[in-house]
A and B are shown apart, each in its own frame.
Chain A
Amino acid sequence: MSSRTLSPAGRARRLGVEAISLVVALVVFVIPFVFIVLTAVKDEFQSSDLTFAWPTSWPVMDNIKQVFAARDGMLLVAFKNSTIVTVVAVTILVVLCAMVAFVLQRRPGKVANVVNALILSGLIIPPAIVPTIWVLQKLHLFKTIPGLIVVEVAFSMSFTILLYRAFIASIPRELDEAATIDGCSGLALFFRVILPLLRPVTITSVLTNSVFIFNDFVNPLYFTPGDENATVQLTLYNFLSQFSTQYNLLFMNILLITIPPLLVFILFNGKIVSGMTSGAVKG
């Protein structure tokens, strides 16, 4: 199987497979992104052709300025809102889910079975939309950022707990006992001893949940309609009707909101892949 033992014919075959795979991958997975970038940097007139032609002029900064200026700087507000929702929701998720996973893994029994069943339901059952709006309205959280945050937390909880539970299983119980003998117990044990040990899985869960929540469109659409508390995905969707003739601005908007996940991807590719697979496989 290794390259040392390949015959010349085998090596030629491998080269062929490599070449074909690379070409197919470039065509299928790269061309759409090339189109986004090309259209985003063109002027309005040329971008309306929707072709792959090389830009005749490069009004890059101008396009960026115009996208941010549109509708009284809505995109900037949206970036602020999305950042707040993502950061706060992910922080709450990490603390709450790690706590649940810790006790869930350490204390099996009837209660744990019930909790496990609830977690599984959360992965499978589609959220009931209008009743959630009704609940949010009763609590005066409908159309507010805190309302969106709690909903994102509730909907991402199952996945995050599973991620933590799998990791906590690899931490020896003796460690808890040693800490208990040293006089650490309950919350102190958890926050001083356990939570710091969970750093690797915390990084994974922060990255994965950040991408999910930042990219989420459905929940902002339902729970924070209107301009005031719009998130970046909602803004993009609203721009769709407004920029229907200004494709350069529409695609500049797409390009701008793709940059944060792209950065996460470039910096932490391995982490995020392992997070998604382990969460998925354990689920």
Chain B
Amino acid sequence: MRGTTKRTYSYWFYAPAGVVYGIFFILPTVISFYFAFTRWDLFESHWIGLDNFRQFFSEQSLRSSLRNTLVYAVTTSGLKVVLGMMLAVLLTSSIRLKAILRALTFFPVLVSTVAVGITFSVLLQPDFGIINTVLAKVGITGPDWLGNPTTALLSVAAVDVWKGVGLATVIYIAGILSIPRDYYEAVEMDGGGGWTQFRNVTLPLARPATFTVILLSFIGGLRSFDLIWTMTGGGPGFASDTIASVIYKQYQAGFYGLSTAGNVVLFVLVSIIIFPLSRYFNSREVDL
């Protein structure tokens, strides 16, 4: 029988995928830990120890990217959890039009990020953009959303939520639909209304979905580059630079060692947040 297992489920099946994955994902990841400590022009590299990291953490423009990355990740995943949950509750309730509403919220997930970024940079323009035009009609002078250092990063984060909340919603919908109806009926029997049902049934039993949404949007938020790059280019100044946009800028400027050091910083940041978080979530799921 062991012989059959070996022949039928041969480890050779791993080989083609393993070669591609090994050469184009694992190898670059491993060697990044060498090149991050060098001055590097793609042909020659000189070991310079911790200089790249020292530069990364001492230069204001680079250091602020660390903070921005965290702000961006926390804001986007927080909003996706709250809004995704609310939308999912609405879209699993007894209202009609569910199919069309689900479709409308989900479609932006499938649209290219560059297209979304360009469209919203126009809609958010300070003078004639639709958003400020509407605000002006009700007597509010809207800020220069993308040109003001205090609003730039959060404006991009809001667009990120607009584009990604549909995915959070469908994950929550799947989670809510898997809750047995009996629980809701039991609460109803005891005279509990909609809020009690949500508080005591939906919220705790949709916890796996919440964990998934947090993990996914956190991973995405920490790496986020394309939307920021098309909407602000990291500006004004360095106000909306994230680690991923710094990696690109340093690469463009030819500082390959420094760019790779940025990659290593991002790797470490993602690892110290995501791995413990996912372990914690897994342990909580067993308790349920």
Q: Give chain A's interface residues, CB within 8 Å of chain B.
A: 1-3, 6, 14, 17-18, 21-22, 25-26, 28-32, 35-36, 49-52, 92, 95-97, 99-100, 102-104, 106-107, 111, 115, 118, 122-137, 139, 150-151, 153-155, 157, 161, 176, 180, 185-186, 189-190, 211, 214-215, 217-218, 221-222, 232-233, 236-237, 240, 247, 250-251, 254, 257-258, 261-262, 264-265, 269, 272-273, 276-278, 280-281, 283
A100 and B17 within 8 A (CB): yes
B270 and A137 within 8 A (CB): no
Does B130 interact with chain A (Cβ within 8 Å)?
yes
In the complex, which residues of chain B have a beta carbon less than 8 angstroms from the beta carbon of A155? 25
10 other A-B residue contacts (CB within 8 Å) besides A29-B107, A125-B271, A132-B28:
A29-B105, A29-B108, A118-B21, A124-B278, A126-B222, A130-B263, A134-B31, A176-B8, A185-B8, A281-B212
A96 and B105 within 8 A (CB): no
Q: How many A-B residue pairs have CB under 8 A?
A: 251
A186 and B119 within 8 A (CB): no
Top 3 A-B pairs, shortest CB-CB distance: A128-B32, A131-B28, A154-B24
Known A-B contacts A28-B162, A131-B29; the reply to A280 vs B114 at CB < 8 A is no
In the complex, which residues of chain B have a beta carbon less than 8 angstroms from the beta carbon of A128? 28-29, 31-32, 260, 263-264, 267
- Cα–Cα, bound, A21→B93 (Å): 12
Interface of A is mostly: helix
Does B112 interact with chain A (Cβ within 8 Å)?
yes
Interface pairs (28), CB distance under 8 Å: A29-B108, A50-B125, A106-B9, A122-B25, A123-B219, A124-B275, A126-B223, A126-B266, A126-B270, A129-B263, A130-B35, A130-B263, A131-B35, A134-B28, A135-B28, A150-B23, A154-B23, A154-B25, A157-B20, A176-B8, A211-B110, A222-B251, A233-B112, A236-B114, A237-B114, A276-B170, A280-B212, A281-B212
Q: Mark B261-288, 1 if CB is under 8 A from A, else 0.
A: 0011011001100110010000000000
B115 and A258 within 8 A (CB): yes
What's the minimum C-beta distance from A18 to chain B, rounded to whole angstroms?
A: 5
Contact of B110 among A104, A118, A123, A261 (CB under 8 A): A261
Does B148 interact with chain A (Cβ within 8 Å)?
no
Stretch at the interface among B58-66, B95-103, B137-145, B149-157: B95-103
